Amino acid sequence: MGFLTVGTENSTPINLYYEDHGSGTPVVLIHGWPLSGRSWEKQVPALLEAGFRVITYDRRGFGKSSQPSQGYDASTLAADLDSVMTQLDLREAILVGFSMGGTEVARYLGRYGTERVDRAVFVSAVTPFLLKTEENPEGVEASVFDGIRQKIIEDRPQFLTSFLKDFYNVGLFDKVSDEAVRMSWLIAVGASPIGSLKAVDAWLEDFRGDLRSIDIPVLVVHGDSDKTVPIKASGARMREFIPHCEDHTISGAPHGLNWTHAEELNRILLDFVGRAAQPRPSFSQVSAESAPGMH
């Protein structure tokens, strides 16, 4: 529906494509890698029907947004989200981040606070810290991400084919059609090759400090059959850093559960966002010294 300018690269503006529908409490949907705002196809109608204003936008480098050669780190992407929030003057908003979108939500809240945000949702998110290190043994080996980068460089279209099979757990059940997978591939292959590669680094940033600072209601939703972002390295650990969060594990769900398990996700999501008008509970802050896993 429109474009927001978030910066420039040499002689050209960096524009984010966004859509803004409905009225009421604003819900901002932030998509995952390597898709676009169109990946929320099954959530937008449900939220509109429930009386929410729904905003989707395409991350820089993806969908209909500009494709610069830089700015794919979590802090810059969070600044892009801040531009969306401020240029649209969103208040008491609900942020919903899917997969990589969870990094924008976490870093935005850690850096910009909750003045404009009422609550937050992490769906199949890569948070809190996906990279395995000596002091983060629950993470994923660095060699896995090295392999992803190499495959993107060698043959990105072919890699996307195999990636999306695991994204939806194709062949394990009949919850996704060949056509739906093809639609995702067409969206993904149109993304910036440079952005697709550089964005991988953002998955590996440490968001534990950002999460510890969150003082609003939080919902975490993850599938226990997620091959892309294993729940044990991500969703199952969120309570370590947001003790007050509400979490739901969807049995048998893959990474792309917003399509395959849309009905269940929508039910959980609508219940949570439907409480946005109620007074916030009081959350005690977790100190750096007492937060589990922080050293």
Mean pLDDT of the chain: 94
- What the chain holds in terms of domains, given with CATH numbers, is 2-273 (3.40.50.1820)
User: Which residues lie closer than 8 Å to 105 by C-beta, 6 or more apart?
Assistant: 30, 81, 95, 96, 97, 120, 121, 122, 125
For 197-229, how does the pLDDT look when each residue is reduced to its tens digit (9 = 90+)?
999 999 999 999 999 999 999 999 999 999 999
How many Å apart are CA 56 and CA 37, to the nearest integer? 5
Residue 279 has pLDDT above 50, yes or no: yes
* Structure confidence at residue 253 as a pLDDT band (50, 70, 90): very high
For residues 105-109, give the mean pLDDT.
98
d(CA 126, CA 103): 7
Question: What whole-number percentage of the chain has pLDDT above 70?
Answer: 94
Task: Give percent of the chain above pLDDT 90.
Answer: 91
Mean of pLDDT values over 215-244: 97
Residue 96 CA to residue 12 CA, distance in Å, equals: 30
From 36, 65, 66, 99, active-site residue: 99
List pLDDT tens digits, range 60-82: 999 999 999 999 999 999 999 99
pLDDT computed for residue 281 by the predictor: 60
Task: Quote the pLDDT of residue 277.
Answer: 58
What is the pLDDT at residue 287? 41
269 φ, ψ (degrees, to nearest 5): -65, -45
Task: Quote the CA–CA distance of 95 and 116 in Å, as a whole number.
Answer: 10
pLDDT at 1: 76
- Looking at the DSSP bridge assignments, the partners of residue 8 are 13
Please confirm, yes or no, whether 226 is among the known catalytic residues.
yes
State the pLDDT confidence band at 160, using cuts at 50, 70 and 90.
Answer: very high
Distance CA 285, CA 295 (A): 17
The pLDDT value given to residue 209: 97
What pTM did the predictor assign?
Answer: 0.93
Query: What average pLDDT does range 49-58 have in this prediction?
Result: 98
**Tokens linked to 269:** 């999501």
Supply the pLDDT for residue 292: 41
Active site residue 99: yes
When mean pLDDT is compared across 40-44, 135-139, 166-170, 250-254, the lowest value belongs to 135-139
255 classed as catalytic: yes
Residue 260 has pLDDT above 80, yes or no: yes
Q: Are 216 and 117 in contact (CB under 8 A)?
A: yes
Write the pLDDT tens digit of every residue in 139-152: 999 999 999 999 99
Which one of the listed residues 124, 226, 248, 261 is annotated catalytic? 226
What's the average model confidence in pLDDT over 4-22?
A: 98
